[in-house]
Amino acid sequence: MSQTYTGGCACGAIRYEIPTEPLFQNHCQCRDCQHKSGTGHGSYLTFARGDVKQTGEATLWDITGDSGNVKTRAFCLTCGSPVFMRFAAMPDVFTVHAASLDDPGLFQPQVVTYAVRAHAWDVLDPALPKFDRMPPM
């Protein structure tokens, strides 16, 4: 039986429920994730989009990532929490911020992406495979 992943923003205005296992879990050290997080990386779980139940209205912001593709960041207009992302190049996936999970302990990173942008002070698990860009999926 699959774990149900639930979460949302800090104030509860946006919620999600995902009844399937993630397709991919990663730390990303690209400059966009650094800016968004205010630190050296972002941490994410990516799911099949069709499985997601989301309530509440997110404010959306498009940005072109290091890959050259457009990603849409979704955050709560009330509390400002980043909650999820969508990718124009991958419309069938839904990516949540690990810290937005009700139980962030469910996050089990598999890789580090955009390690080429890493800062020496942002030390991640050395056992994780590191990729200079996104790995082939």
Cα separation of 38 and 27, whole Å? 14
Domain that holds residue 60: 5-117
CA 126 remoteness from chain centre:
20
**Residue 68 belongs to some domain of the structure:** yes
Q: Is 0.75 topped by the overall pTM?
A: yes
Read off the tokens for 77: 């207009």
**Residue 30 belongs to some domain of the structure:** yes
**Residue 21 belongs to some domain of the structure:** yes
**Residue 136 belongs to some domain of the structure:** no
Count of structural domains, the chain: 1
**Residue 125 belongs to some domain of the structure:** no
Given a contact cutoff of 8 angstroms between Cβ atoms, the answer to whether 24 and 46 are in contact is yes
Q: What is the pLDDT of residues 63-91, one digit of tens each?
A: 987 778 899 999 999 999 999 999 999 99
**Residue 126 belongs to some domain of the structure:** no
Cα separation of 27 and 95, whole Å? 12
